[in-house]
Amino acid sequence: MSTLQALPVDLRLDRSRHAAPQVFEKLRDLIVSLDLKPGEPLARGELAEAFGLSQTPIRDALSQLRDEGLVDIYPQHTTAVSRIDIAAARQAHFLRRSLELEIVRVLAGRHDPALVERLRAHIDRQRANRGADRYQGFLDADRAFHREMHEAAGVAGLWELEQRYSGHVDRLRRLHLPEAGKADRILRDHQRIVDAIARQDAAGAQEALREHLSGTLSQVDEICECYPDYVRKG
């Protein structure tokens, strides 16, 4: 059995859709969640067997992952999950912070009780998934919260843009999440953002967002020290 087949993940594909994008999505999720760890080899033959496909869609999916910096492909040698690139993570963080500061300013300029209720529902879902055995549910709700804000501001396409650059910083966040009190701080920050939007306090929403997004990157040296084999600083 391959490493991939041993993971608790459904590898079945929707046969009505093209295979390569689905393989890309599943592998990307496994990489970002750290189920596939930095440095782990990804043999095309094993992947093809695990997904029940030829090697062509596997090659295409790996090429897309390489374009996002999530795998390293060494021709005629091997393919492996990339180490977390700290410089790329910082750039992705800069992009997200710049966009979301404007998004919360726009949202706070509106009176939209329905949006506030939807955002609070995402927070409730996060709260329900708080715990060591529910990290993925917590992170899924976190992404849904931020995506909801993008959609409400009319810039859903920018969310997709951010995701193409987010793989490295998302893996840093996954490493940081188990830290004591981290989940509670995320919940607190999300609540502060929503409360500021609800009272149409743009400056307060931006302040809360800025503090929220600074958490993981402010601890990057400590994360690197704990996981030296997972990161690339240069």
Write out pLDDT tens, residues 189-206.
999 999 999 999 999 999
Same domain as 39, residue 115: no
Residue 41 pLDDT class (50, 70, 90 cuts): very high
Query: Are 143 and 184 members of one domain?
Result: yes
Do 78 and 182 lie in a common domain? no
Q: Are residues 26 and 89 in the same domain?
A: no
- The CA distance from 44 to 62, in Å, is 9
Q: How far is it, in rounded angstroms, from Cα 107 to Cα 202?
A: 8
DSSP codes of every residue in 39-93: T-B--HHHHHHHHT--HHHHHHHHHHHHHTTSEEEETTTEEEEPPEEHHHHHHHH
Residues 6+ apart with CB under 8 A from 213: 93, 96, 97, 100
Maximal CA-CA distance, the chain = 59
State the DSSP code for 231: E
Indicate the residue among 82, 99, 132 that finishes a domain.
Answer: 82
pLDDT (tens digit, 9 = 90+) per residue, 49-92?
999 999 999 999 999 999 999 999 988 788 999 999 999 999 99
Q: Given CA atoms 153, 157, 161, 167 in this order, what sign does their dihedral have?
A: positive
Domain co-membership, 141 together with 219: yes
* Residue type at 129 in one-letter notation: N
| Residues contacting residue 10 through CB under 8 Å, at least 6 positions apart | none
CA atoms of 116 and 125, how far apart (whole Å): 14
In the chain, how many domains are there? 2
Domain termination site, one of 54, 82, 110 = 82
Residue-wise DSSP of 173-219: HHHHTTSTTHHHHHHHHHHHHHHHHHTT-HHHHHHHHHHHHHHHHHT
Per the structure, the complete domain to which residue 60 belongs is given by: 3-82
What φ, ψ does residue 71 adopt, rounded to 5°? -135, 155
Non-local CB neighbours of 133 within 8 Å, separated by 6+ positions: none
Task: Give 114-170 pLDDT, tens digit per residue.
Answer: 999 999 999 999 999 987 678 888 999 999 999 999 999 999 999 999 999 999 999
pLDDT-based confidence at residue 10 (cuts at 50, 70, 90): confident
2 pLDDT above the threshold of 70: no
Taking only the tens place, the pLDDT of each residue in 96-113 is 999 999 999 999 999 999
Which of 82, 109, 134 finishes a domain? 82
Instruction: Based on the fold, state whether residues 195 and 181 are members of the same structural domain.
Output: yes
Confidence of residue 215 (pLDDT cuts 50, 70, 90): confident
Q: Are residues 113 and 223 in the same domain?
A: yes
Residues 159 and 176 in one domain: yes
Higher pLDDT, 219 or 113: 113
Q: Which pLDDT value is given to residue 7?
A: 72
Same domain, 218 and 153: yes
**CA gap 123, 129 in Å, rounded:** 10
Q: Which of 173, 55, 152, 73 is nearest to 109 (CA)?
A: 152
Task: List the CATH number of the domain containing 49.
Answer: 1.10.10.10
Please tell me the distance from the alpha carbon of residue 40 to that of residue 84, in angstroms, as a whole number.
Answer: 12
Alpha-carbon gap, residue 11 to 26, rounded angstroms? 8
